[in-house]
Amino acid sequence: MAPPIIELREISKSFPGVQALDRVSFEVREGEVHALLGENGAGKSTLIKILTGAHQPDSGTILLRGQPITIPDTRHGLKLGIAAIYQELSLYPDLSVAENIFMGHQPSNRFGVVSWRQMQQRARAILHELDADDLDVSRPVRGLSVGNQQRVEIAKALSHDARILIMDEPTAALTQHDVDRLFEIVRRLRARGVAIIYITHRLEEVFLLADRVTVLRDGRVVGETMHVSQTNQAELVRMMVGRTLDTFFPKDAAEPGEVVLEARNLSYGRTTRNVSFVLRRGEIVGLAGLVGAGRSELAQVLFGITPAESGEIRVEGKPVRIRNPREAMALGIAYVPEDRKLQGLLLRMNVRENTTLAVLRQLLRYGFVDDAAEMRLTQEYVDRLQIRTPSQMQQVANLSGGNQQKVVLAKWLAAKPKVLILDEPTRGIDVGAKAEIHRLMNTLAQQGMAILMISSELPEVLGMSDRVLVMRQGTIVAEFDRAHATQEAVIAAAMGADALHTTPAASTTLT
Amino acid sequence: MTTETRAATSAQPSRLLSALRTQEGVLFLVLVVIVIVLSLLSDRFLTVNNLLNQTRLFTETALLALPMTLIIISGGIDLSVGSMLAWSAVMLGFSWQLLGLPLPLAVVVCLLTGAIGGAINGALIAYVRVPPLIATLATLAIYRGFSFGISQARSARGFPEEFAFWGQGQVGPFPTQFLILVVLIVAMHLLLARTGFGRWVYAIGNNELAARYSGIPVERVKFTLYTLSGLMAGLAAFIFTSRVTTTRADAATGLELDVIAAVVLGGTSIFGGSGSIIGTMLGLVIITLLRNGLLLTGVKGDATFMVIGLVLIAAVLINNLVRRR
Amino acid sequence: MATSTTRWATPARRSGVTLQQEGVIAAAILGLTVVVSLANPDFFNTTNLLDIVVNTAYIAVAAAGMTMVIVSGNIDISVGSMLGVCATIAGELARNGAPVPLAFAVAVLAGSVMGAVNGILVAYARIPAIVVTLGMLSILRGGLILVTQGRWIESLPEAFFFSQRSTLGIPNPVWVMLIVVGLVWLFMKYHRWGRAIYAVGGNAEAARLAGINPQHVQFFVFVVNGVLVGLAAVLYASRFTAIQSNAGQGFELAVISGTVVGGVSILGGTGSVIGALLGSLLISQIGTAAIFLKVSPFWLQAVQGGLILLTVLIDVLRRRRFA
């Protein structure tokens, strides 16, 4: 077994009011994928930041190949061969792929004059190693798919000749196809002796990809680092949350009622093509498909953000027109968008102002906001969704991801919708909050709400849905009831039968 | 909580108290210091007469600063307010003197001109989605060009005596325009801090996309804000004309900078999302009193501009330091 | 791959668009030349066309600095006041017997100092650029009036009128403009620091992670901008026999308009100095064209503003089609 390339010994770090890391010891070896798990707030980000040099530890030592070192800043970290790929990709949208890769260390002479030719050649060479020859190094990054943007990020890390690569939830926003390509790249890097620290919320990835796993909770290492063969998902969950979750996806059987929403041949541009389906009272319908299959786009058509160009929508049997979100809301449709920070929240405003935003009109008296009514309404949803916040006046930016997501949910539940469209409702939130949201969806369905859930996590789709619709290339290609919705069937439909033959790896990557 | 910002506050009295610790609080202290220093420097400064007189000069800028506060909170900016004022004033003189409209009707033309100028800004920004800085930079030139083109750089004068009431007259001890201003300050404060519309303005400034996804009529709100800004410029033009009894095409050149300085000095974030009418008014009072005080102590007119700049930078700097702690 | 998966809302290929924007402006300049020449053949002669370039030179030099500032994600609206201060310093020194080259050098130095003050406040004190430069605009303008008491600077030595002379048959301002724009273009395209400006304007956090210090970059662009405004002031001051105390008033609008019309995105991260040069030329040309088309001078500003709006509208609408 190779010696650790980097080792943290008894690292502690505190911020005002929080002990982020408490005597954490952690090591990574050359040529291994080391999974790092933990709920949000467990200390993973702080650990990464200490490794990259963005933060300095209060105490403890960092050893690189056995030698104690300090990493005063990220530039220094990069020089030592430590690179990180964050969830929020850090690219320059208007600059070319090659420049994105080499920004800050372009091939240049001693006067600092950049050689564009050399830079593009080297960029091509690196992308070739990543099996991404299809990327044009001279085109701007704006407009690339998330998967391609991520490949640019990885190429950037490799251009620094990184020996230690930290990946923070790299698959969170990827299509299944891109996930496969990413795994392939990670395995290649491992074979070349790169040490990879892999952070994820998707436990199945740990067993697919990692050699060893370490769990953090409340700033401490839980138990000790284990080889993945020595553990299982249930144990890891227990370690992460410190309690047993009976089941991830507690969907109860439901008796669907009459049709609430019906779409007939809906089309918008190239992203939504001839979509027809029905949604019944009290049922949860999962909308599966690869990212880019047009699921969010369909949701945006239904919600009037990009109104349908042709086709018909019926609400409770009556044909309706939905030209903007207001009209959708008036018809009892609510949409919890994919990206809560970008599309959902007013981060610098407080819980109350966020909660009542969509129903503010109902709280007005002669145009003025009725403070008492607003406070009552907010409290109702804070209690009901168990939003953990010191007060209604707390800025949403200061809440955890799970609680932020609950605030977005509260905003839309306050509108008392008949149809709730949830777009990636549990992306990037911790296991505990995830289970609470699943329970909530259950309750809502039982109370008669019709729920359309878009999710890229297949286990979530299969576990929560009464029916599963599968989209591909802008249209619905398959429908399964709960009994017939298996992973294999859904994946086959999502990728198209031909695709399944050409990439046999796809079916194995989702356990 | 180091990142405490005051988005959409000033609704509750408790929040008003906590706001005193931030920009408005700092401004208030600065104001007190300025009043004390200036009254020691000049015995003519702290007199009722002088202070009331200041409100005459202050009103036109204040009228523009009210909607500017809302616009900046919504994440926009309006650089064309000075030009809209001049264009409106020119239209007043033009329609009265050359077209021979009765004066009240000419005033309506003046207000309408402002509103139309603002509506054009609003349409460009809200519906065509031109970035506000560029859109109003262009209309700044265009409206100023209209003022020169329509008036051919000639000024209109000789307004009847009763017309002077709005800019030079008094109601009781108060200058007429001051009373108009007070009413509008209260109205705008209530609009921003207490109504659903005001909440929408903050929401758009915070996260326009999220606001749109929450069913807020973003375009309509923006269009309304810029139109309101134009209308206020029209009103300011009317009072200005009444005060100086002439309409000139180069009136209010550069006034947009005074207005924006007052708004930013008043603690409204230039990036949008937070700010208040009270802050803006404090900012404006400070600028006006400083200028007046310096004039009284013998500093030459335009040199008082220096003070605006210094106070603006110092206030934001201090505020930054206080918040970073 | 569907565009829906991108992280940026508009999948327009922005740097491609910028190139197109430069093309559009160049085409507009040519088109305007043709149209006005047809309407009034007097327009199309070398002296006149060169005059347009000469009159644009000092604006274009400042626009080169403004391009760097805007690409870095900032703005500088104090350039007009800075121009006035630098021009006054050069004039006062020369009038009081200082050697002319020294007077010019001090003016440029003064520009760099003022730029450095802006830079420190923006980069290190972290005050938004629009606030800092708005403040500086007032401070410098007020200070200038305080010092000059509104008097014009006259009776300058003959050697002072650099801008009225030519070298190798080409007016000096045009030389300076070409050299400055050329150097800034090369710098921004081929130098690591130049690229760092795009990085900081495009994504400051990413730049920081790549080992670029955004604060140093911002400070740097403001200093360079100050130097270029100082140079512009020298060109401006040495054109006419007197320097007015209100020199440079409204200059910031001319410079920012030229830069933005030339396709430098007000949001930062993209644009080129060639575009800024073309944008400045177009706006000047419109001014001259209006005279030849016998447009009343009083309508000139409206026409210029209208054309600024038109170019911006074309750009906005074209980008929307991409999206």
Report the mean per-residue pLDDT for chain C: 85
Q: Domain with C28 in it: what CATH number?
A: 1.10.3470
In the predicted structure, residue B1 carries a pLDDT above the cut 60: no
Residues A194 and A304 in one domain: no
Confirm if A191 and A31 have CB atoms less than 8 A apart. yes
Cβ neighbours of B151 in C, within 8 Å = 298
Of A391, A416, A441, which marks where a domain is finished?
Answer: A416
> Region C55-69: what's the mean pLDDT?
95
Q: What is the 3-state secondary structure (H, E, C) of A64-117?
A: ECCEEECCCCHHHHHHCCEEEECCCCCCCCCCEHHHHHHCCCCCECCCCEECHH
**Residue A22: Cβ-neighbour burial (10 angstroms; 0-12, 13-18, 19+):** middle
Structural domain that includes position A205: 4-241
The pLDDT tens digits of the residues spanning B109-137 come to: 999 999 999 999 999 999 999 889 889 98
Phi, psi dihedrals of residue A24, rounded to the nearest 5°? -90, 130
Question: Which chain A residues contact residue B7 at CB under 8 A?
Answer: 346, 348-350, 353, 395
Domain assignment present for C131: yes
**Contact: C190, A143; criterion CB under 8 Å:** no
- Please tell me whether residues A128 and A227 are part of one structural domain: yes
CATH number of A129's domain: 3.40.50.300
Short-list A203, A206, A150, A205, CA closest to A173: A150
Q: Are C304 and B141 inside 8 Å of each other by CB?
A: yes
Instruction: Decide which of C322 and C214 is more confident.
Output: C214
pLDDT by residue (tens digit) across B60-84?
999 999 999 999 999 999 999 999 9
Q: Phi then psi for A407, rounded to 5 degrees?
A: -65, -40
CB-nearest partner of C13 from A142, A145, A296: A142
A340 found inside a domain? no
Q: Looking at the complex, report in whole angstroms how far the Cα of residue C6 sits from the nearest Cα belonging to chain A.
A: 5
**Is C106 a member of any domain?**
yes
Q: What pLDDT is attached to residue C4?
A: 33
The per-residue pLDDT for A40 is 63
Predicted confidence (pLDDT) at residue C3 exceeds the cutoff of 60: no
In this structure, are A232 and A265 located in the same domain?
A: no
Burial of B39 (0-12, 13-18, 19+ CB in 10 A): middle
Choose among A464, A364, A376, A363: nearest CA to A420. Answer: A464
DSSP code of residue C77: -
C-chain residues near B307 (CB < 8 A): 138, 142
> pLDDT confidence of B10, banded at 50, 70, 90?
very low
Residue A326 or B252, more confident: A326
Query: Tokens for A220?
Result: 């401490």
To the nearest 10°, the Cα dihedral for B182, B184, B186, B189?
-140
C138 pLDDT more than 50? yes
For residue C45, pLDDT beyond 50: yes
Q: Do residue A342 and residue B190 have CB atoms under 8 angstroms apart?
A: no
Nearest by CB to C303, from B145, B309, B312: name it: B145
pLDDT (tens digit per residue) in C22-35: 888 888 889 888 98
Q: Please check whether residue A170 lies inside any domain of the structure.
A: yes
- Looking at beta carbons, which residues of chain A come within 8 Å of B209? 342-343
| Domain extent at residue C55 | 14-318
State residue C322's pLDDT score: 45
- Is A74 within 8 Å of C209 when comparing Cβ atoms? yes
**CA C279, chain centre distance (Å):** 10
Q: Is C9 in Cβ contact with B317 (below 8 Å)? A: no
Do A403 and A288 share a domain, yes or no? no
In chain B, residues 164-193 whose CB comes closer than 8 Å to chain A: 190
Please name the residues between 223 and 242 in chain B that touch chain C, using a CB distance below 8 Å: none
Contact in structure between A91 and C204 (CB atoms under 8 Å):
no
pLDDT at B49: 78
- Contact between B117 and B226 under an 8 Å Cβ cutoff? The reply is no
Which stretches in chain A have pLDDT values below 70?
Answer: 1-2, 16-18, 39-41, 173, 241-254, 291-292, 495-511
Residue A60 lies in a domain: yes
Residue A291 has a pLDDT of 66
Nearest to A27 by CA among A66, A78, A57: A66
End-to-end CA distance of chain A: 28
Does A169 fall in a domain? yes
Number of structural domains in chain A: 3
Which of A190, A208, A241 is the endpoint of a domain? A241
Quick one: pLDDT at residue A16?
A: 67
Q: What was the pLDDT predicted at A503?
A: 37
Using CB atoms and an 8 Å cut-off, which of residues 203-242 of chain C contact chain B? Answer: none
**pLDDT over threshold 90, residue C301:** no
pLDDT of residue A496: 66
Structure tokens belonging to residue C247: 């020199």
φ/ψ region of C306 (left if φ > 0, alpha if ψ in -120 to 50, else beta) reads alpha
What is the radius of gyration, based on Cα positions, of chain C? Answer: 20
Average pLDDT of the residues in C85-94:
92
Say what the pLDDT of residue A316 is. 92
CB C320 within 8 A of CB C8: no
- In A, minimum Cα distance to C270 occurs at A94
Residues of A in contact with B196 (CB under 8 A): 360-361, 363-364, 367-369
CB atoms within 10 A of CB B277: 27
Put simply, the answer to whether B145 touches C257 (Cβ < 8 Å) is no
- Alpha-carbon distance values, A431 to A22, A36, A436, B147, B212 (Å): 22, 15, 9, 64, 30
Helix axes B81-93, B255-265, angle to 10 degrees: 130
Task: Give the minimum alpha-carbon distance from A109 to chain C in angstroms, rounded to a whole number.
Answer: 10
Q: Domain tally for chain C?
A: 1
Same domain, A282 and A402: no
Which residues 268-297 of B are in CB contact (within 8 Å) with A?
Answer: 273-274
**Above 90 in pLDDT, residue C225?**
yes
The whole-number pLDDT of residue B9 equals 40
Instruction: State mean pLDDT over C11-16.
Output: 38
Closest CA to C243 of C125, C106, C148: C148
Minimum CA–CA partner of B4 in chain A: A395
Q: Give pLDDT tens digits for B168-222.
A: 888 888 888 899 999 999 999 999 999 999 999 999 999 999 999 999 999 999 9
Identify the residue whose tokens are 């920012």: C256
ipTM of the complex: 0.82
Q: What is the pLDDT of residues C163-175, one digit of tens each?
A: 888 889 889 999 9
Instruction: Report pLDDT for C1.
Output: 31
> How does residue C110 score in pLDDT terms, banded at 50, 70 and 90?
very high
Please report which helix (H) or strand (E) contains residue A341, including its range: none
Which residue is closest to C200 within chain A, CA to CA? A92
Structure tokens at B201: 């303005």
Which residues of chain C make contact with A90, given a CB cutoff of 8 A? Answer: 203, 205-206, 209
Highest mean pLDDT among A83-87, C15-19, C61-65, C201-205: C61-65
Whether the pLDDT of residue B14 is over 60: the answer is no
pLDDT for res C239: 87
> So where are chain B's domains?
51-252
Rg of the Cα atoms in chain B? 20
Q: Is B49 on the interface with C (CB under 8 A)?
A: no
Q: Determine, for residues B202 and A353 on separate chains, whether the beta-carbon distance falls below 8 Å.
A: yes
Mean pLDDT of the C230-237 span = 94
